Amino acid sequence: QVQLVESGGGLVQPGGSLRLSCAASGSIFRLYAMGWYRQAPGKQRELVAVITPSGNTNYVDSVKGRFTISRDNAKNTVYLQMNRVKPEDTAVYYCNGGPPSRGYWGQGTQVTVSS
């Protein structure tokens, strides 16, 4: 089984940057596709970015060119580098598998983009 812990969120001004981390347990982490998801107030949770075990990536259109997902299999960690953030990026960010497993959703980490 896998446990996931997100960190790195906070308050950032428009145009700024944040780096989110997701620490995963489990002995076969390297075999899972992993994703970052976000849920803004009043909206459904959406997939933001996903990375396969081999490092192939995909992004929702709204973050293409600004966010980068990466992984370090030796550290069982997934990252989301968020650059040139916008107010509409404000949300709670979660990591999970891609596709996600219901039982692995955690508390997430809050990202607030505001001046």
Q: Tell me: pLDDT of 1 over 70.
A: no
Residue carrying structure tokens 């891609």: 98
| pLDDT level of residue 2 (50, 70, 90 thresholds) | confident
Q: Please name which of 41, 97, 43, 37 lies closest in space to residue 63, comparing C-alpha atoms.
A: 37
Q: In the chain, which ranges are continuous DSSP H helix?
A: none
Average pLDDT, the chain: 94
Q: Please name which of 36, 34, 58, 56 lies closest in space to residue 45, comparing C-alpha atoms.
A: 36
Tens digits of residue pLDDT in 48-96: 999 999 999 999 999 999 999 999 999 999 999 999 999 999 999 999 9
Query: Which pLDDT score is estimated for 7?
Result: 97
| pLDDT level of residue 42 (50, 70, 90 thresholds) | very high
